[in-house]
Chain A
Amino acid sequence: DAGVTQSPTHLIKTRGQHVTLRCSPISGHKSVSWYQQVLGQGPQFIFQYYEKEERGRGNFPDRFSARQFPNYSSELNVNALLLGDSALYLCASSRALKRVETQYFGPGTRLLVL
């Protein structure tokens, strides 16, 4: 079975630009969560989506937004990029809304902002 897939794997942007990251969950999983992992730190929760609706939001500015599509795939958008947005962005999927403890993570998209 295919795991969680993310694209692209690596990305380089400059300050002020916009970026879109994509995630495809495991087949049958309806919940997608996004995390930011800065080098040397643990992941930080950004969003959870379930059935195309936002069900949770972490402490991130409005420059961060996301959406989930009818096929349960998801996009994370970041506007007006800052140097501090450089990080590994992880997507995780789980079968149900309240089973995030058993979520499966993708390999991440490494974003570098210059």
Chain B
Amino acid sequence: QQQVKQSPQSLIVQKGGISIINCAYENTAFDYFPWYQQFPGKGPALLIAIRPDVSEKKEGRFTISFNKSAKQFSLHIMDSQPGDSATYFCAAIYNFNKFYFGSGTKLNVKP
């Protein structure tokens, strides 16, 4: 059973547009929700993260929105750039090392 469900599988956005990736979870024990960015041939890199007591967190062009009652969270990339083209993974953690990743979203930002 997949602990974290991520959508869409792939996404094409024009330069300057907004990219939105969604994730949903069931286990209410999760207490930390990071997003990772992965370029081909590289390991995932932490992008931004949020705790469930916060509804929104913004860092530069990246924003996480968190809906605890719906058990959903999303990543918004504002003013998307071709350099943002990568695979994005959401994740959820509980008990400090019980780490579950979503299946990934391949983002392609067209110039």
Contact = CB atoms under 8 A, between A and B. Distances in A.
Interface stretch (A40-48, A61-69, A72-80): A40-48
A101 interface: yes
Contacts of A33: 97, 99
Given A42-B103, A44-B101, A107 B41 contact: yes
Contacts of A101: 32, 34, 46, 49, 93
Contacts of B6: 42
Given A40-B104, A42-B89, A42-B91, A105 B44 contact: yes
Q: How large is the interface on B (under 10, 10 to 19, 20 to 34, 35 or more residues)?
A: 20 to 34
A82 B42 CA distance: 25
A41 B5 CA distance: 11
Nearest to B101: A42
B104 A42 contact: yes
Given A42-B91, A101-B34, A105-B43, A55 B101 contact: no
7 contacts: A33-B99, A35-B99, A42-B89, A56-B97, A97-B97, A106-B43, A107-B43
Interface of B: 4, 6, 32, 34, 41-46, 49, 89, 91, 93, 96-104
